[in-house]
Structure 1
Amino acid sequence: MINILNSSNTQTNLIYLRSAYSTFVSNSIDTLEHIFYFLLVYLIVCLTLYKILFTTRPYHLILKKLVKHVKFPKHNRILLVISHPDDECMFFGPTILTLTSRENCEFYILCLSNGNFEKQGKKRRNELWESCTALGISESNIILINATLLPDDPNIEWKVEAVAKLILNTVESLDIDGIITFDRDGISQHPNHCAIYYATASLCLANLLPKDCKIYTLDSINVIRKYISVFDLLCTFLLSTNWFILSWQSGSIVRSAMKKHKSQMKWFRWLYIYFSRYMYINSLREINLSDVELEMQLQDSLLINSFKL
């Protein structure tokens, strides 16, 4: 009698498991179908928007008034601050290419190291000049710093005070009214990139920058968005306040500039220049005193909580 009951319970459990499995498979298929259709619609929308941005057809003109390939305030003298040779085209290509072609806009670049991490400082200096020339920056507007306090080394943290002093001196001497640089996460979490943000933020906190000088930081994004090329277009429109978007033809100029850095063209960089959205899209955020104060408070609170744990 006991064996019969156990056999009956086993059969009931098997029937229940089969039913649960069938329900799970059915729901999973439905979910995957929804995801597929969502991604398909998203890709179609991105391609349509991208086509509208760079078309000359009359019936697209109305839509082009709603979505523009450039949304950035006017400035007369802009300074881009980077850490290493190749940062300018790996991350800021769309910004540089657009602003150097803008009328009455003088564009300067301040590179805080000569990229001597692999003992190729002289070669990388020449590559920087070639790349900047390809992007439309005058040779006289390129400033390269070679200071022992700021070595090209991801294992050495740059002193914020030293970086801030160099930036401030450059801003004052060139009468800069717009600074563009990395955000707090430095795109790739590189400590040299992050140091520039904190140096710029410290100048903002201390009110040392000229009153009419605005600060813009390049958005760091998640790895999925980072490598979907122009298909990040819709996310950029929805989540960003300032942006530069290049056509496929203009993007080839940025790729050509990156190829000038021959010493850095490892296999993974070839993949980067064709799949990274930074080759075609830059989204920037203007930061002000209240933004910096809030970020510093959040950072301090996180440090305090980590010590408590």
Structure 2
Amino acid sequence: MRFNWLSDYLATIVNTSAFFEASTRHLAGLHQQLAPRNIYCNIKSTSAEALEHILIACGVYFLICLGLYKLTFWLSATGAGATTGGASAPMLGSNNNKASGDTASSGLRRTLQNGLHLRSVHLPRAAISGRVLLVTAHPDDECMFFGPLIYSLVQRADCQVYVLCLSNGNFEQQAQLRREELFRACKRLGVVESNVILVNATNLPDDPNVEWRPDAVAGLILHTVESLDIQAIFTFDRDGVSSHPNHCAVYYAAASLCLANLLPKACKFYTLDSINLARKYLSVFDLLCTCFMSTHWCILSWKEAAIVRGAMLEHQSQMKWFRWLYIYTSRYMYINSMREVNLSDIELEMQIHDH
């Protein structure tokens, strides 16, 4: 018992040494982890894992868009059985089975259309029948931004499409050439030459540095609407798709007519949605965002979009290298999304414009 204190003292020394050794090992490990090489390896490993997750998510998104793209045109197609509607009774059993299959397919198509609201053309009735006016700022706007809309409208027998271009494209002193290109492009899209109106006004030059007077533009739009008895107007929205000042001026001119209650009561006003840069160059892969974020749209198949590209190629004076990239990657060559503008929307946007 007299030597218990010695045993306790020795045990304390041993425990202190073990604690010191453990602390030393921990500090050495921490120092090793904080070494620049190890920090770089950790960041690289974490970044690679995050990039892998991003790529997987993008792959899944693209596959969903492709599936919806295919499904949209299958739903928009009209089956042969649906058009005939059983006008005559089939004579053979095989024909009877085929008719039953067509009927079932048409029923499934209608069910999915009503449930998913997937259609290649989803526009209000007022916008797809009667007389429609498309107001643009320059020759080539009709192809670069409104191609899917024009193509979809001209396919309807009950829709008469007019194009009002407010400048002659004389920015590079090529007004006559730009005029001929405009008429050829509209013809490729299906708009007859007599329905194309090209304004040659000195106060509306094709120049981003010249601010167009809204009252001058509004007067031209109103005169065209009244003389042609237009039922729907389509033009740019407040951002003008590319933020071109002339594009924005067209919107504010049309909006001022609506705000002053000068448009005919039967005339509806629609604007083309401006989207961010990432979506703008997603091509058909913007389909999912369009269906969930827009109320009205027109979607073209690859074959139909080729017609719009062909119309754009008529504007040879504008086909710089970046335009070739645009016509194959831009979402506006495949998809147009629109919204109807009401008085409250215009009042809010005019306040934003004033500020």
Q: Same fold (TM over 0.5)?
A: yes
Task: Report if aligned partners of 2:132, 2:159 keep a CA contact under 8 Å in 1.
Answer: yes
Please say which structure displays the higher CA radius of gyration: 2
SS at match of 1:123: helix
One-letter code aligned to 2:245: P
> In the aligned structure 2, how far is the partner of 1:298 from the partner of 1:145?
29
SS at match of 1:68: coil
Match in the other structure for 2:165: 111
One-letter code aligned to 2:351: Q
Given candidates 331, 334, 343, the residue that maps to 1:277 is 331
Match in the other structure for 1:147: 201
Match in the other structure for 2:14: none
SS at match of 1:207: coil
RMSD of equivalent CA atoms: 2.1
Match in the other structure for 1:48: 67
Given the alignment of the two structures, is residue 243 of structure 1 paired with residue 262 of structure 2, yes or no?
A: no
Identity among equivalent positions (%) equals 61
Given candidates 75, 79, 82, the residue that maps to 2:133 is 79
Given the alignment of the two structures, is residue 14 of structure 1 paired with residue 63 of structure 2, yes or no?
A: no
Task: Report if aligned partners of 1:241, 1:285 keep a CA contact under 8 Å in 2.
Answer: yes
1:1-309 aligned within 5 A = 11=28, 14-17=31-34, 24-55=43-74, 58=105, 61=109, 62-65=111-114, 66=116, 67-75=118-126, 76-300=130-354, 303=355
After TM superposition, the structure 1 stretch with the greater mean CA deviation from structure 2, 55-64 or 233-242, is 55-64
Task: Report if aligned partners of 2:221, 2:254 keep a CA contact under 8 Å in 1.
Answer: yes
Structure 2 stretches lacking a partner, 5+ long: 1-23, 80-104
> In the aligned structure 2, how far is the partner of 1:233 from the partner of 1:190?
25
One-letter code aligned to 1:71: H
SS at match of 1:263: helix
Task: Report if aligned partners of 2:73, 2:119 keep a CA contact under 8 Å in 1.
Answer: no
Task: Report if aligned partners of 1:80, 1:109 keep a CA contact under 8 Å in 2.
Answer: yes
1:34 Cα offset (Å): 2.0
Cα deviations by residue, 1:59-78 (Å, 9 ceiling, x for unpaired): 87243453111110123111
Task: Report if aligned partners of 2:269, 2:341 keep a CA contact under 8 Å in 1.
Answer: yes
1:17 Cα offset (Å): 2.2
Higher-RCO chain (CA-CA 8 Å, sequence separation at least 6): 1
> In the aligned structure 1, how far is the partner of 2:256 from the partner of 2:25?
74
Cα deviations by residue, 1:26-62 (Å, 9 ceiling, x for unpaired): 4433322221111111000000011112236948724
> In the aligned structure 1, how far is the partner of 2:66 from the partner of 2:249?
37
> In the aligned structure 2, how far is the partner of 1:283 from the partner of 1:293?
22
> In the aligned structure 2, how far is the partner of 1:115 from the partner of 1:190?
14
Task: Report if aligned partners of 1:100, 1:106 keep a CA contact under 8 Å in 2.
Answer: yes
1:8 Cα offset (Å): 9.8
Alignment length (residue pairs)? 295
Task: Report if aligned partners of 2:208, 2:244 keep a CA contact under 8 Å in 1.
Answer: yes
Match in the other structure for 2:5: none
SS at match of 1:172: helix
After TM superposition, the structure 1 stretch with the greater mean CA deviation from structure 2, 140-149 or 20-29, is 20-29
Structure 1 stretches lacking a partner, 5+ long: 1-6, 304-309
One-letter code aligned to 2:69: Y
One-letter code aligned to 1:73: P
SS at match of 2:125: coil
1:10 Cα offset (Å): 8.5
One-letter code aligned to 2:54: I
> In the aligned structure 2, how far is the partner of 1:88 from the partner of 1:299?
25
1:204 Cα offset (Å): 1.2
Cα deviations by residue, 1:202-257 (Å, 9 ceiling, x for unpaired): 11111111112111111111111111110110010011010000011000000000
SS at match of 1:54: helix
> In the aligned structure 2, how far is the partner of 1:279 from the partner of 1:21?
44
One-letter code aligned to 1:155: N
Task: Report if aligned partners of 1:52, 1:63 keep a CA contact under 8 Å in 2.
Answer: no
